[in-house]
Amino acid sequence: MELSPILLCLLAAAPVLLLIILLVGCKWSVGRAAVVSVTVDAVIALSAFGAHPLQILVSAAKGAWSSLSIILIICPAILMYNIVREAGAFRVIRAGIQQATPNKLLQILIIGYAFAAFLQGITGFGVPVAICAPLLIEIGVSPLWALAIAPLGEAWGNTFGTLSAAWDALAAQAGLTEAMPLYWQSALWTAALLFAMNLVSGLLVCWFYGRGAALRRGLPAVLVLSLVQGGGELLMSQVNTTLCCFIPCCLALVVSLLLGRLPLYNTPWELENSRAMEPSHGTLLSEQAPQGMGILHAFSPYLVMTAFSLVCLLIPSVKRALAGVSVSLHIPAVVSGGTAITEEVSGFSPLSLTNAGVFLFLAAGFGFFYFRRRGWLTAGSGQQILRDSLKKAWPSSVSVMVFLVLANIMSGTGQTTALAGGFSAVFGSYYAALAALVGMLGSFITGSNMSSNILFGSFQMTTAEMVGLQQAPILAAQTVGGSAGSLISPSKIILGATTAGKPELVGAIIKKLLPVALIFSLTAGAVALLSQMMLG
């Protein structure tokens, strides 16, 4: 019996809805919920979409292989964070920020806006909130507001941060490569929307601290920092997407420290009645900075990372040479009963030395040996750092792999097409207004903009094609919505609240940031819809 398009759409949506229920309603772990959803999806593919078991296996193999390029970024990113933390470099960074300016608002902007974005550019995966929230508490910000400010500083950089891991996932799921004009058009739309999100986020940090008075005082700093961060990312998005967040955020961090020398910010200033401030005594105040470590020492792994990236990705001859050293997946054609089940696939999703994980690993290695030689890492600390890194990277890596398996099975067995067909039939061209909300939902339930792009990137692309929408604004809305959703991602907020010693504040923080996430997503959707009217 042939099923109706609407019923097929509902069946295709079932694994995603189940994933939401298990994560949000049943409070399952991401990995466990994803495995169950993949199993249910395979059953639906076999029973309702007529998929062959070998077809499902091939799709799963593609998903598992594709995940390696992302896992190779996750593991060394977490490794470098643990090396820098264990060496005590973050205590030096905190002290340097406090010495840069006596202006309390600028201190908050440096930590919660500039430094959080810098960390997002290189690490991500909740690390900026986990580091910056406790630092904000140390300078007197109340735990609730510290945990609301830190996500604002990193959320806008969620797409092109972590050396563009989320963007690469979106491009892969949408079938985009750097050789395609749509790739760069989508990057431009995305960076433009994120520029606006970056500016508003900086203004919100000021508003949280002291409303109108803080807005007036902080406006010059926010405008300058946003121009460097968001404006720089916009320009770099048409040159190199891997570095288009990291480099501007490096520059913005330097600029934020230089702002402390201006007359407006080089004298003490703070609001006595700020709702965001309260006396706080953190654990870091009693800890001494490592003897002899200066601010450049503390930042040395990141400086090396920058040098590696610039040389290897911006010099064409070097990039070509590194890209030439690669390994890819080859899948022969699968035939069953004389019928071709899948076509032969050669050179699928190549892994080369231009993968951002290579540069992260080299920088992490440098940081370890440099800090160890200077005596800032103790003997035997390497094993503990490695154990901690693997322990933290394992859940994220497994989740990414299972999500990609799910997305590839849905795509390879026709479920994504059926899902997009149902949405296009119901909403038509007005679907553009919902595209960002889909991305926000994906980021909320999975805890990652990258995972959201994996789950819904192909769906967004297919829906746009069916309805006849301009694809670049739709893809931009997807990942900008995912960035907004990271503001209220329970896993990230739990991580930050735990490091800040306030796990009971998770619900209150989500409640406070939910309106902000919705505004960002609805605005991105409105821009996407307006663009269809103007371009269509």
Q: Quick one: pLDDT band at residue 20, thresholds 50, 70, 90?
A: confident
Query: pLDDT for 171-190, tens place per residue?
Result: 999 999 999 999 999 999 99
Residue type, 261: R
Q: What percent of the chain has pLDDT over 90?
A: 47
DSSP H helical ranges for 470-505 = 471-485, 490-499
Which of 401, 528, 396 minimizes the C-alpha distance to 470? Answer: 528
DSSP H helical ranges for 175-231 = 181-226
Query: pLDDT for 352-365, tens place per residue?
Result: 898 878 888 999 99
Query: pLDDT for 245-304, tens place per residue?
Result: 999 999 999 999 999 999 999 999 999 889 999 764 444 444 677 889 998 999 899 888
At residue 282, the pLDDT reads 42
Site of tokens 């409303």? 211
Residue type, 94: R
Mean pLDDT for the stretch of residues 347-351:
83
Query: Residues with Cβ < 8 Å from 411, sequence gap 6 or more?
Result: 59, 173, 458
Q: Which two tokens stand for residue 156?
A: 């806008």
pLDDT at 331 over 50: yes
- The beta-carbon contacts of 281-286 under 8 Å, at least 24 apart in sequence, are 282/134, 282/137, 282/138, 283/134, 283/501, 284/91, 284/94, 284/134, 284/135, 284/138, 285/138
Q: Which two tokens stand for residue 26?
A: 């049943």
Q: Which two tokens stand for residue 311?
A: 């040389």
Which of 398, 312, 391 minimizes the C-alpha distance to 358? Answer: 312
Query: pLDDT for 51-66, tens place per residue?
Result: 889 889 988 998 899 8
Within 10 A of 215 (CB to CB), how many other CB atoms are there? 17
- Which residue did the predictor score with more confidence, 209 or 536? 209
Instruction: Annotate 16-73 with DSSP letters as a single string.
Output: HHHHHIIIIIS---HHHHHHHHHHHHHHHHHHTS---HHHHHHHHHHHHHHHHHHHHH
Strands 326-331 and 334-336: unpaired
pLDDT at 397 over 50: yes
Provide the mean pLDDT of the chain: 88
What whole-number distance in Å separates Cα of residue 154 and Cα of residue 149?
9
pLDDT at 98 over 90: no
Mean pLDDT for the stretch of residues 87-100:
86
What's the half-sphere exposure (Cβ side, CA atoms, 13 Å) at 363?
A: 30
Query: pLDDT for 474-509, tens place per residue?
Result: 999 999 999 999 998 876 777 677 667 677 787 788
Query: Residues with Cβ < 8 Å from 380, sequence gap 6 or more?
Result: none
Q: Which two tokens stand for residue 360?
A: 């992260």
Residues 62 and 328 sit within 8 Å (Cβ to Cβ): no
Q: Quick one: pLDDT band at residue 155, thresholds 50, 70, 90?
A: very high
Q: What percent of the chain has pLDDT over 70?
A: 96
> Is 337 exposed, middle or buried, given 0-12, 13-18 or 19+ CB atoms closer than 10 A?
exposed
At residue 284, the pLDDT reads 43
In the 8-state DSSP scheme, what is residue 503? Answer: G
At residue 479, the pLDDT reads 97
At residue 271, the pLDDT reads 92
Q: What is the pTM of this model?
A: 0.80
What whole-number distance in Å separates Cα of residue 137 and Cα of residue 154?
17
